[in-house]
């Protein structure tokens, strides 16, 4: 068995998933479509070693705490089961951007882990199989396995065999600009898993979310293929606001936004009124991702950076899929 280092980027969902039909297998009620975010990367180093008595897991320079330790060990058990051995592993995961803050760090983490761990264990999984493995760690990680614009199919099978990710278009197809407004540092108050579970059980808006979602998927998919920023942008905004409305209507309410989150949303709308094509979307957290034309990204970033309460901005664009950096 060899040591493998793999890298994967975070992604932002343009048509989101919110709610699981099977929590154990991470099977969503709806499909979703995202774009990989270049520069928001996580690297995972994995080395299965038969002589180890226990898994050794380090996250961003620190020993993993019990909750995350258990989650990663459970994921490693899946790899061990596929590979047909019980060797323990050394794991070192490092993210180049804030984690647990609404920037899809779990997506990049488990996409990188899926590739590094499977290769270290001696497996060579097909792209669909690798997305299925990544999905078991974090649902949105299925989308971070592939490059560019990616659709995660909800599937119908109870075992999740038809629930995997496929590429809608490569990153070169449409070089959009993405500006990410950081409005809060540190972990969000309610994790995505808990938020989804609560919304599913407690929000009266959840059925309407399901009923309207397929139309959003179709619009985003067609917009990407036609390079139609207006269609993708308006649909992404509407889909985002519906998801957060579902969360807000839960009991107790799930509120991810900060005052600066709302201020950025208003500023993006003002940009459009002033003639600049810009559209927002927000995952389960307070950070705002702004879609724009690539040649207008710096202008949009300067405007967003000046919004009161914005701590800093990150610049991104469609990124690559998971890749092996080193195998020794």
Structure confidence by residue, pLDDT tens digits, 52-74: 999 999 999 999 998 999 999 99
Residue 98 has pLDDT above 70, yes or no: no
Residue 187 has pLDDT above 90, yes or no: no
Residue 90 has pLDDT above 80, yes or no: yes
pLDDT of amino acid 256: 94
Residue 231 φ/ψ, nearest 5 degrees: -65, -50
pLDDT of amino acid 101: 55
pTM for this model (two decimals): 0.94
Write down all domains in the chain, each with its CATH number in brackets: 3-171 (3.30.230.10), 177-316 (3.30.70.890)
* CA-to-CA dists, residue 83 to 98, 121, 132, angstroms: 32, 6, 15
From the CB of residue 230, how many other CB atoms can be counted at a distance below 10 Å?
11
pLDDT of amino acid 99: 62
At which residue do the structure tokens 């040591």 appear? 3
* HEC string for 53-102: CCCEEEECCEECCHHHHHHHHHHHHHHHHHHCCCCEEEEEEEECCCCCCC
Q: In what helix (H) or strand (E) does residue 181 lie, and over which residues does it extend?
A: strand 177-182
pLDDT digits (tens, 9 = 90+) for 204-251: 999 999 999 999 999 999 999 999 999 999 999 999 999 999 999 999
pLDDT tier for residue 191 given thresholds of 50, 70 and 90: confident
From the CB of residue 41, how many other CB atoms can be counted at a distance below 10 Å?
21
- Greatest C-alpha distance within the chain: 64
Q: What is the average pLDDT across 13-39?
A: 96
SS3 160: coil
pLDDT tier for residue 97 given thresholds of 50, 70 and 90: confident
Q: What percent of the chain has pLDDT over 70?
A: 98
pLDDT tier for residue 104 given thresholds of 50, 70 and 90: low
Measured CA to CA, the distance from residue 25 to residue 12 in angstroms comes to 21
pLDDT of amino acid 76: 98
pLDDT digits (tens, 9 = 90+) for 265-324: 999 999 999 999 999 999 999 999 999 999 999 999 999 999 999 999 999 999 999 999
Measured CA to CA, the distance from residue 222 to residue 7 in angstroms comes to 29
Q: What is the average pLDDT across 155-167?
A: 97
């Amino acid at each position: 068995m060899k040591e493998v280092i793999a890298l994967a980027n975070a992604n932002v969902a343009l048509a989101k998933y919110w709610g699981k039909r099977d929590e154990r297998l991470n099977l969503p009620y709806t499909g979703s479509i995202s774009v990989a975010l270049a520069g928001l990367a996580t690297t995972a180093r994995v080395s299965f070693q038969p002589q180890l008595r226990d898994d050794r897991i380090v996250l961003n320079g620190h020993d993993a705490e019990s909750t995350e330790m258990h989650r990663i060990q459970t994921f490693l058990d899946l790899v061990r089961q596929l590979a047909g051995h019980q060797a323990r592993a050394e794991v070192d995961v490092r993210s180049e951007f804030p984690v647990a803050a609404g920037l899809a760090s779990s997506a990049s983490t488990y996409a990188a882990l899926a590739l590094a761990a499977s290769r270290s264990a001696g497996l060579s999984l097909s792209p669909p199989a690798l997305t299925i493995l990544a999905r078991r760690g974090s649902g949105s990680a299925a989308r971070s396995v592939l490059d560019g614009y990616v659709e995660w199919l909800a599937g119908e099978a109870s075992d999740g065999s038809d629930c995997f990710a496929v590429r809608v278009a490569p990153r070169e197809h449409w070089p959009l600009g993405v500006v990410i407004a950081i409005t809060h540092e540190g972990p969000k108050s309610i994790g995505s898993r808990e938020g989804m579970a609560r919304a599913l059980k407690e929000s009266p808006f959840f059925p309407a979310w399901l009923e309207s979602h397929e139309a959003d998927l179709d619009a985003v998919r067609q917009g990407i293929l036609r390079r139609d920023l207006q269609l993708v942008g308006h649909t992404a905004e509407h889909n985002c606001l519906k998801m957060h409305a579902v969360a807000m209507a839960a009991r107790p309410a799930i509120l991810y936004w900060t005052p600066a989150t709302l201020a950025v949303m208003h500023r993006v709308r003002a940009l459009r009124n002033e003639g600049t094509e810009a559209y927002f979307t927000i995952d389960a957290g307070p950070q705002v991702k702004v879609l724009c034309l690539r040649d207008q990204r710096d202008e949009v970033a300067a405007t967003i950076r000046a919004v009161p309460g914005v701590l800093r901005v990150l610049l991104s664009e469609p990124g690559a899929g998971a890749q092996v950096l080193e195998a020794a």
